[in-house]
A and B are shown apart, each in its own frame.
Chain A
Amino acid sequence: MTAATLGERDVRRRHKIGSYVVMSAIAVIFLFPLVFMFVSSLKPDAQILSDVGSPRAFIPVGDISLENYFGVFDRVPVGRFLFNSILVTVLTVGLGLIVNSMAGFALSRLRWRGRVLVLSVVIATLIVPFETIAVPMVYWVSKLPTLVVEGGVLKYDFGWLNSYHVQIVPFIANAFSIFLFTQYFSTIPKSLDEAARIDGASWFTIYRRIVAPLAGPAFATVAILTFLPAWNQYLWPLMVVQQEELRPVMVGMQYFFQLNTAWGEVMAYTSLITLPVLLVFLSFQRAFVSSVAASGVKG
């Protein structure tokens, strides 16, 4: 072994240590808000404010208790809000995967007149901010036909306000998801379709048995990218849902901002509603990272 080789190994090791130090520092910076949130959720308001600006803000010291969590459950129906958010999010993501992947399949695999125009229009809708169409959409959904249960009787009526489906249906079709599926499906060789067609497979069979099974990373990416906005919905449910029992978790945040904000309870509530997201992310961490890398999309 030469001195030069030893020197190279030394340099490589130093680079490695250096990169780990930098990455650890960045990881710590990213973790600080989460640590601050969890630690503060255990402290009384006065101590949270007095600890801000010192390292104590990140350490569970002082008057530590679960009092803020009890306060949260007194002030907000947390369980109900969590159930609503989970239901709305799971259905929005699940139905979105089906509808958007089928749309992507039709746009990338089928040949029909106006295909390019439709794809262009779908992509063009991406530049319209939701806030600009929120009020017209409220008016629109308030006129849609629906079935309601009144006095134990199922009735036909108009208006989707105050329901679960008004929080789900408008967000199933998603232009970005359609675009992503279209792009991903176009990378799968068309010779597979042709072989299946010769064997007599229908287009739906090709979608279900050939293309969809090969598009795991695209499905995972779309699931991630639609999960967070669905979980974080605030403006829309605020406008279309008046009944407390149908509200999602993000609207619940506002319950704590009275004349004097209960910061400890805010931290306890945000800890509670962040936990499901963290659990989902940690459970699917490997799939998330590989799917994002495979699709070349950043969240």
Chain B
Amino acid sequence: MNRRSLATIVSASTASALVLTGCGQAGQGDQGGGDGPVRLTMWTHSAGNPAELEVYEQIIADFNESQDDYEVVTEAFPQGAYNDAIVAAAAANDLPCLLDMDGPIVPNWAWAGYIQPLELPTEITDALLPTAVGSYQDEIYSAGYWDAALSIFARESVLQENGIRIPTADDPWTIDEFDSALATLKDAGYDTPLDIGAEDTGEWWPYAYSPMLQSAGGDLINRDTMLSAEGVLNGPEAVEFFTWFQDAFAKGWTSSGGTVGNEEFNNDEVALSYTGVWNALDSLEAAGDDLLILPPPDFGNGPKIGGASWQWGISSTCNSPDGARAYLEFSFQDEYITAFSDKQVVIPATEGAVEASEYFGPDGDLQPFVELSQQFAVPRPETPAYPVISSTFEKAAKDIMNGADVQQALDNAVAEIDANIESNDGYGF
């Protein structure tokens, strides 16, 4: 290294470092400057989702214009990185005033002290879908503008050609009928007739498959006590369901191959697809009027689907919770909820927004999802232990899919969940 290059590095780096040291930005504090409006910082998980951000920008602009006391400023994070950012901000005592969160995480963040009770007027929260409201210990901590729902996508022509009954919400497939349909479709030439989404990872697993377990009579945890999974996650009903689950892969009715999304169904490579409302428009384009949106099969206790999507809460460190509540109250207007719903293709959380929705209204192509959500949605257990339950369930279910002993895998999962709950003194239950 010659002297000139070393000197260049030294001078350039030092000068830049000195300049940058003076380039600190204001933190996430919620106070405005001087006598101006109180600034309310708001974080969303919506970076990279222009359709959702557009609605937030509209609400914020309207709210800021509607009064002089508060000014909401937003910062968008990418969804995959959002929870880590929140945990880091909580460690640094730098949480924003308003934050959104995935429904199942609400009790954990309430227990951890990140968020405070929402205390919105009951006329707002009572009007929402039950799964659009997040609670912990009988206290409401979050509320959302929409929910998502899962269903079975099918082509009417394929079912008719193979003599398979088309189920309805009132008369869903029994598990025997479902098995028979899968066997028929396999014989008809579909290599794997059902795309169950097993190639996906993370929260998809408990979101998609724990409702099937509940339909079979099991559950993720004993919801009466929230203290143990013994007997519900490893009881006879759970073993029966997971034996079916394992057999479905072993018999080639479904597989863990393929790609995340709904391409295989859209290309008619699979006959049935267990997937979400977010894939409906693409499938509608691919299958047209032939597309059927069907309830999941009844494993014995009626069809079930997962409930609770992204919801809004107020951080415990918010300096102006009244301002945050004022913003949230303002935002729960049907026109905004409808806009979210139609731009993102998610189920509106209020009746008024459903009526006004292009896709989910009485004549909308995706109206069946509203019925499924209202009739069959089950929230994931409202306990701070849920993150552990979720990852443990995923591991056990994947082991079973890959051929592990069903009872053993479930017993291990129960032991892990119970140990975690015990080591956290029951998480307040």
* A interface residues (Cβ-Cβ under 8 A, vs B): 46, 49-50, 74-76, 87, 91, 94-95, 97-98, 134-135, 138-139, 141-142, 146-151, 154, 157, 159-165, 168-169, 208-209, 212-213, 215-216, 219, 235, 238-240, 242-244, 246, 251-261
- Is A164 within 8 A of B23, CB to CB? yes
- Is B13 within 8 A of A98, CB to CB? yes
Enumerate chain A residues within 8 angstroms of B236, measured Cβ to Cβ. none
Enumerate chain B residues within 8 angstroms of A255, measured Cβ to Cβ. 47-48, 78
Enumerate chain A residues within 8 angstroms of B78, measured Cβ to Cβ. 251-255, 257
Of the listed residues B10, B25, B26, the one surrounded by the most CB atoms of chain A closer than 10 A to its CB is: B25
> Given A163-B23, A259-B278, A260-B278, are A168 and B3 also a contact pair (CB < 8 Å)?
no
Enumerate chain A residues within 8 angstroms of B261, measured Cβ to Cβ. 49, 260-261
- Is B24 within 8 A of A146, CB to CB? yes
A215 to chain B, nearest CB (A): 6
- Is A238 within 8 A of B81, CB to CB? yes
Of the listed residues B21, B27, B34, B259, the one surrounded by the most CB atoms of chain A closer than 10 A to its CB is: B27
Of the listed residues A95, A164, A244, A258, the one surrounded by the most CB atoms of chain B closer than 10 A to its CB is: A258
- Is B50 within 8 A of A49, CB to CB? no
Known: A95-B17, A159-B24; 11 extra A-B contacts, CB below 8 A, are A91-B17, A147-B22, A149-B22, A149-B23, A151-B33, A165-B20, A168-B17, A242-B96, A258-B79, A259-B278, A260-B279
Closest 3 CB pairs of A and B: A255-B48, A254-B78, A239-B88
- Is B13 within 8 A of A259, CB to CB? no
Nearest to A251 among chain B residues (CB) is B81
Interface residue count on the B side (C-beta < 8 Å):
53
> Given A163-B20, A212-B6, are A239 and B47 also a contact pair (CB < 8 Å)?
no
Of the listed residues B21, B24, B80, B93, the one surrounded by the most CB atoms of chain A closer than 10 A to its CB is: B24
Q: Which of B45-59 contact A (CB under 8 A)?
A: 47-50
> Given A97-B9, A150-B26, are A256 and B276 also a contact pair (CB < 8 Å)?
no
Enumerate chain A residues within 8 angstroms of B166, measured Cβ to Cβ. none
A104 to chain B, nearest CB (A): 13
- Is A165 within 8 A of B48, CB to CB? no
Enumerate chain A residues within 8 angstroms of B256, measured Cβ to Cβ. none
Nearest to B27 among chain A residues (CB) is A159
User: For the complex, what is the distance from the CA of A139 to the CA of B27, rounded to whole Å?
Assistant: 14
Enumerate chain A residues within 8 angstroms of B14, measured Cβ to Cβ. 95, 98
B260 at the interface (CB under 8 A from A): yes
User: For the complex, what is the distance from the CA of A22 to the CA of B80, rounded to whole Å?
Assistant: 40
- Is A138 within 8 A of B92, CB to CB? yes
B308 to chain A, nearest CB (A): 15
Enumerate chain A residues within 8 angstroms of B43, measured Cβ to Cβ. 242
B80-99: contact bitstring with A at CB < 8 Å (1 yes, 0 no)? 11001101110111101000
13 A-B pairs with C-beta separation under 8 A: A91-B13, A138-B88, A139-B91, A141-B92, A151-B33, A163-B23, A164-B20, A165-B24, A212-B3, A213-B6, A242-B28, A254-B80, A257-B48
Nearest to A75 among chain B residues (CB) is B48
> Given A46-B263, A261-B261, are A160 and B24 also a contact pair (CB < 8 Å)?
yes
Enumerate chain B residues within 8 angstroms of A97, measured Cβ to Cβ. 9
- Is A159 within 8 A of B94, CB to CB? yes
Q: Which of B1-48 contact A (CB under 8 A)?
A: 1-3, 6, 9-10, 12-14, 16-17, 20-28, 33-34, 43, 47-48
- Is B92 within 8 A of A243, CB to CB? no
- Is A154 within 8 A of B22, CB to CB? yes
- Is B22 within 8 A of A91, CB to CB? no
Enumerate chain A residues within 8 angstroms of B34, measured Cβ to Cβ. 151
> Given A242-B75, A251-B78, are A216 and B24 also a contact pair (CB < 8 Å)?
no
User: For the complex, what is the distance from the CA of A97 to the CA of B267, rounded to whole Å?
Assistant: 55
- Is B263 within 8 A of A161, CB to CB? no
User: For the complex, what is the distance from the CA of A75 to the CA of B1, rounded to whole Å?
Assistant: 42
Of the listed residues B1, B79, B260, B282, the one surrounded by the most CB atoms of chain A closer than 10 A to its CB is: B1
User: For the complex, what is the distance from the CA of A169 to the CA of B49, rounded to whole Å?
Assistant: 32
B76 at the interface (CB under 8 A from A): yes
